[in-house]
Structure 1
Amino acid sequence: MKLTSLLVGAALAATSITSYAAGDSQAINVPLSGNPTIGYSTNFGATHLVAGTFTDVFTFSPSVGASLVDVYIQTMNLFGTHDIDFISADLNGNVLSFSPVGASENGWLNPSLVSGPLVLTVSGISKSITASYSGTLNANPVPEPETYIMMLGGLGILSYLGRRRRKS
């Protein structure tokens, strides 16, 4: 009887460890709101229904030209029942910084110059079922160098014309 209880207990413990180790990673496509001249912005997030490690990959579209991009993600766990601990995150190879593990965790990427398709990869541990996190992404276009040259040329022509009028 004791041996049967011990074997059943060991089997249950082994299955709980296995289910904790295997999370539910997701690939999520997220549309960006805005346009290439004024910039883009969006919200995103994921809910995990299985305890364990996860790696979520967010692909944002459309692809952006040279832009200053910032990202912020967060999770809150006030009662300890729906906890997510972030392990790492990066946007096109730019690594996010994280607050210490606790009741409220957040990660951020200070504005970084990025172009092309934006792909955010978030890895973490969901310590229970129904744990979630959310975030925002902003992309502000950086003018091409030719734009600055044309603007300076236009200012030069305006100042030349202004001086010429004063002399007349």
Structure 2
Amino acid sequence: MPVLSTRRLVLLPLSRDMIRRRLETDTFTLNAVTPQGPLTIQFSPEWPGVRLGLFPHLLRQMKAQGLAADPGDFCVVLRETGDVVGQIGAKAPPDAAGAQEIGYGFNPSCWGKGYATEAVGALVAHLLTQPHVRSVTAQTALTNRPSERVLEKLGFTRIGSSRDARHGELTVWQQTSEPSPSPSEWP
């Protein structure tokens, strides 16, 4: 699993060690190697938000498959400080039509700073280079206008709706080409 980078962010593959440490304690640090060199990663109690409840199952699954890192999930890290600000990733392998669904969540203290747009753009650009991915999809709750704006800024289009028990009515979005603006133009 590659490490993805933008001007302000590093997207590190979510490792078994990260999950294990988070299940043991709220706050911890890990050392990582990035394309820019070594970086000390700072994990706060805010991370991973609502996904924490999924971590025991994910850890068991990764151990059973002999995986050191989840092949679809990344921690979003501020390059300058090493602070983990969110998590992003593919929800499952691409479907038969080549559609790859993504999901993302960011620490509330980091909302409104452009990190989601930057991270989603980097992930989408990466996924669209993969051989079996023809499009990237995402779903947003009707009440989550900030997340809709992230997808709109990156050139996603609304393609339908769905419903789930947790969020209710959802809007389904799709991107079939490199996101706009290009990664070199991100803040």
TM-score, with structure 2 as normaliser:
0.26
Which entry has the higher C-alpha Rg, 1 or 2?
Answer: 1
TM-score, with structure 1 as normaliser:
0.28
